[in-house]
Amino acid sequence: MYQVTSKACAAVDGDNTENIMKRYSLIAFDLDGTLLDSKDGIASAFNASLKACRYPEVDPAQVHHLIGLPLDVMYAQIFNRTVSQVEFARLLAAYADVYQDQVFDMTTVMPGAAKLLEALNHRGVRLTVATSKGPSTAKLLDHLGLRRHFALVVTRDMVAHPKPHPDMLHYTLKTLAIKPHESLMVGDTIYDMEMGQSAAVDTCGITHGSHDREKLMAVSPTYIVDSYSEILDLIGRQRYNERDYGEVA
């Protein structure tokens, strides 16, 4: 069963989850660690870029922990200092050189993700993406067979400020003419939760990605879930037919 963590929902009596089921008009999803398993490819490409620019490689776990942030911020976190524009341009070029092989081709759809999106589409919920990835994201989603599920894909290059700034969600809500209280942000990192909170939308942390339950709980998302099926439970299954889509993990 999903966990309700926000003070706004704390007044619900006992475990009567029927009272907190809410129909959302829009659900915005993060990608890496939320719908896609890409951590090994990203860490591999990140270390390849460090090596190409004559920096020491790092433990992949350090990179995994930063997934969800834009690349320039990831490099700055690893170096523990500001990265100049010239320095970042070199690193980005090296990263791009191996992106196709070490990120694009190593990325897979998490088990149950496609069925979740199909079920939400069937319910009439508009789905979008809010990701720190760049312009090639739509191509990646096409490659993985997921692009058709999303009304809008918002990437880092489309807004002035990256996560956890709310720019991506502000852009989404304005473009689709949807109000914050009708929306839910789903992600696996605190950056997703903080972005959603800053945009005044409900937030749902999923624990199978980069940040564990304890870390997600520290920023008080509206909900915490351990599986995709709990997301369907969260918003209700009125129009979801398991015979048509199969069991959602």
Query: Which residues are annotated as catalytic?
Result: 30, 32
Strand-pair partners of 130: 154
- Residue 27's contacts (CB-CB under 8 Å, 6 or more residues apart) are 120, 125, 126, 127, 128, 183, 184, 185, 186
Phi-psi region of 38 (alpha: psi -120 to 50; beta: other; left: phi over 0): alpha
What is the number of other CB atoms lying within 10 angstroms of the CB of residue 238? Answer: 8
Asked if 75 and 191 count as a contact pair (C-beta separation under 8 A), the reply is: no
Task: Calculate the alpha carbon distances from 84 to 55, 63, 191 in Å.
Answer: 15, 20, 23
